[in-house]
Structure formats: C-alpha cells, structure tokens
Amino acid sequence: MQVVREKIMPGRGIDVAQAARDFYEPVFRFCARHVGKDLASDAAQETFLTAHKVRQNFRGESSLRTWLFGIALNECRRLARQKRIEPSTVPLIDVSQQDEGQSILDRRLLQEALQKLSAEHREVVVLHEIEGLTYEEAAKVLDVPVGTVKSRLHHAFLQLRRSLDTTYEGATR
C-alpha cells in the first residue's frame, strides 16, 4: 500500500511536489477515465499546478487524495468542455484482456452498459467502484451530500443491471 505523506508546511500549505510524487499515478488514472489517456497527462499536470496555486486552502479536513481528486474532477470537466469530449465515450473497461475463465460478464457489454450511464452516475461509479473511495470521500470530491452519492450509486447499478440483464441471465443459467 502506498505511503501517504501529507506534509503541511506552515504558512505555505502542503508540499505539492511531494504530493505529486505520492499521488500522480492515481490522479493520472482518474483523469484518464474522464478525458481519455491522451489528455490525461495534461489534466493531471493542470491538477497539480492548480493544487500548487491553492495549496494554502488545504486544511486537512479530507485526505490529500480526496482533495486532489476534487481538483482533478474540475480540471477534467474544464478540459472536456474545452476539447468537446463526451466523457461517456471514454472507455473504462479493458476489453482487450477478457479472461474467459474468471470473468462472468462480457466486458464489451459491460463497457456498453457503462456508456449508457449519465455523467453523474458514471462519476459515482468511477469514484466508488474503480477508485475505491468511500461514500463520504466521493461526496467530498463531488461536493454533494453522502445521501446523494448513495442514491446515485443505487440508480447507476439498477441501470447497469437493466442493460446487462440478458447477459446476466445467460451467465447464471
């Protein structure tokens, strides 16, 4: 497990260079899931540049990773608007490595089902299921109440089930 070093320097906020050493990879992957791999490095870099500018705003009320994900989400939204990227078209699932022995669901169909989710539902699925954030952390990143995260996640899974129903029936039969 990655060691988190959240060093807060008096009068200067956090050490963003250290934060980049610790969290660049998860931030990059998070950005890649929103704007695609090609633009992910730009988005990640912008995230840390913004973090450097506003580092004095970090009070340690949330984890550093959550704080960085919050900034990254805003940067990704801005970049997506600027480059006219539709987040639903960005692949989340690695369809090239389908393991017939272990995977029950067809990854291609799973990717299609994820593409049918709304942006809000997709965001909670990414934050909770893929990035592994708790409901509370996801709520902080999205700046919404915890109840909203719970509700969005429930509806996202309902929709995924509806989309995959045929596949699931086939798989469990």
Q: How far apart are CA 112 and CA 92, in angstroms?
A: 10
H or E stretch at 155: helix 146-172
Interface segment toward another protein; rule CB under 8 A; list 36-44, 57-65, 70-78, 115-123: 36-44
Cβ(85)–Cβ(46) below 8 Å: no
Q: Which residues in the 106-145 window bind another protein by CB under 8 A?
A: 107, 110, 125, 128-130, 132, 134-135
Q: How far apart are CA 170 and CA 154, in angstroms?
A: 23
Minimum Å gap between C-beta 84 and another protein is: 21
Q: How far apart are CA 126 and CA 128, in angstroms?
A: 6
Cβ atoms < 10 Å from Cβ of 164 = 19
Interface segment toward another protein; rule CB under 8 A; list 20-28, 65-73, 77-85, 115-123: 20-28
Residues found near another protein in the complex (CB under 8 A): 15-17, 20-21, 24-25, 28-29, 32-33, 37, 40-42, 44-45, 48-49, 52-53, 91-94, 102-105, 107, 110, 125, 128-130, 132, 134-135, 150-151, 153-154, 157, 160-161, 164, 168
